[in-house]
Amino acid sequence: MNPLPLALAFFMGSLLFAHGIPEPTSIELLVDHSPKPLYGPHVAVPYDTSTLQFLVKPESLRVRYKLEGLDSDWQQRTEEMFFIVRFLNKNGDQVSQEAFSAKGASRGWKGSVERSEFTSRREIVKVPEDAESISVVMSSAGPATTVGIIAISGITISSVAKGAEMPVTYLKNGRVPGSDSFIWSKSGTHPSMASTSQLDNGSAEVFVIKDDDIKAHADWVTTLRDQPKVVPGESLELLWSEVYCSGAGGPFSATYERLPSGSYRFVVEDLAITGEPLNSGTAMAVKVPLPYWKNFWFWAVCAAVIAVLSTLYGRHLIRKRINLHLRHAQLIADERLRIARDLHDDLGTRLSHIALLGAYAESNNPDGDARAAFGQITTMSRELISALSETVWMLNPKNNQLEALVDFLCRLVSELCRLSEIRCRIDAMSVTSNVTISHEFRHNMSLAVKEIVNNALRHSFATEIKMSIQLENTQLKIAVTDNGVGITREPNKTSLGLENINQRMSSIRGKCTIDKHEKEGLKITLEAPIV
């Protein structure tokens, strides 16, 4: 590696440092007065930051700044320069003074003394006791960091005492009337910053201070030998014209508190001593994030947590209600089983006993009418036993299976046809899985089939009844067909019981369909979901 470029760069850096070349404008950021500053073109601060303090080390004498996103206009630091009237006693000691400040930029300032419009100013002061003379001073001796330009011309001091025949003029256009001698002298820690110039018309002398040193100041002051004499207690009228543009130089800080969330840019622009932009400077982008409770992800997480908790709580309530319903259903099932057992054991036994007694009486009674009566008693007892058996089957919760329903319907239709001495053909599906059905479904479907078969046996004059049972997905279809005379009256007649069948099917979300054969007979189809 060639060491010549490195040595040359080191030499140039040392040379620039030795000649006092200023460093570029820099910005540091203190967050909540933290001792460790933040650097760089892009910084991010915590959302709960209360104070942001930008520390600026400017390259030029003056700068302006603004926080884009908050400030609508540029901010400038301003300091004061002064026009001062001092009152002295006979020993030359100062008794008091009146100072008139010039801060910021005057209304007629246009970037230089030559182009600017002077503004007239008039002040009235009173001469204190023990004062014998006055001294006039214009100075940039405000704060040590004051920089800028002030120019004053036409300085005139006159007495405005009441009753005086002719007002006394102590200074006129910066000179003692009647004297051509120059009564002003330069002073201060850096006197060379004071100078004079002439207006374009040459009518008045202009006293100028161009303060470009943040560690010093300059003064224009009247000399001791030519100080005008004054009368204690009289009023003096001060007249002068002025232009000025003053500011503050050197490092400074800009503080902002409680910035809203968003993106900001702190911009510092270099200015000439006259206040004109130099098209140079620096900037720092600052990001203040949203508080976590205002971020979308926070509310998304909250919504997700609430949704999960609500789901879990809802499932708990549903499970609780299901368990309550199951316990209630179990209690009902147990009660039905108890009733079925009681009916079978008590009422069934009594009916069987009545049937036996009727049969015994019928066979041992010589009276024909009595035997006929006992025969009816026996028949009715047996019919009641059969009906009781069906009721017990309906009540028994152990029969809440599709297989049990199919077996019961096959036995029911076969028994009814056998008692009526009519042929019966049954095409029933083979149930291979244990499918649970509700008590309401089992009750209404079995009673509807029984009603259809009884109607066919009583009214159709049929010689054959066919029943088919099919399960398509979750739909149970039962078709009962006879070869009788069909419907001989209106379907809405209650003698056929069709209205009752429709109501039973509607209660289990099913339907009843009646189809007439072309030749003879009737086909009634029951269809309902098992779940």
Token readout for 179 is 């004297």
The tokens 């069906």 sit on which residue? 390
**pLDDT for position 186:** 92
Q: How would you label 95-128 residue by residue, b for 16+ Cβ within 10 Å and e otherwise? A: bebbebebbbbbeebeeebeebebeebeeebebe
- 48-52, long-range: CB < 8 A, 24+ apart: 48/291, 49/259, 49/288, 50/257, 50/258, 51/255, 51/256, 51/257, 52/255, 52/256, 52/257, 52/259, 52/286
d(CA 128, CA 136): 16
pLDDT digits (tens, 9 = 90+) for 486-528: 776 554 444 456 788 888 889 999 999 988 766 678 889 999 9
- Sequence-distant (6+) residues with CB within 8 A of 503 are none
d(CA 109, CA 121): 15
pLDDT digits (tens, 9 = 90+) for 391-408: 777 667 777 888 888 888
469 pLDDT exceeds 60? Answer: yes
d(CA 332, CA 115): 108
Who wins on pLDDT, 92 or 69? 69
pLDDT band at 439 (very low <50, low <70, confident <90, very high): confident
**pLDDT for position 528:** 92
- Sequence-distant (6+) residues with CB within 8 A of 5 are none
Q: What are phi and psi of 226, to 5 degrees?
A: -115, 30
pLDDT digits (tens, 9 = 90+) for 61-80: 899 999 999 999 999 998 99
Percent of the residues in the chain that have a pLDDT greater than 70, as a whole number: 82
Task: Give me the amino acid identity at 74.
Answer: W
- DSSP state string for 202-234: --SEEEEEEE--TT--EEEEE-GGGPPB--TT-
Rounded mean pLDDT of 410-425? 87
pLDDT digits (tens, 9 = 90+) for 352-402: 667 666 676 767 777 766 767 767 777 676 667 666 666 777 667 777 888
d(CA 117, CA 245): 12
**Cross-strand partners of 246:** 148
9 pLDDT exceeds 60? Answer: no
Rounded mean pLDDT of 157-168? 72
Kindly give the interhelix angle for 368-395 and 439-459, rounded to the nearest 10 degrees. 150
Average pLDDT, the chain: 83
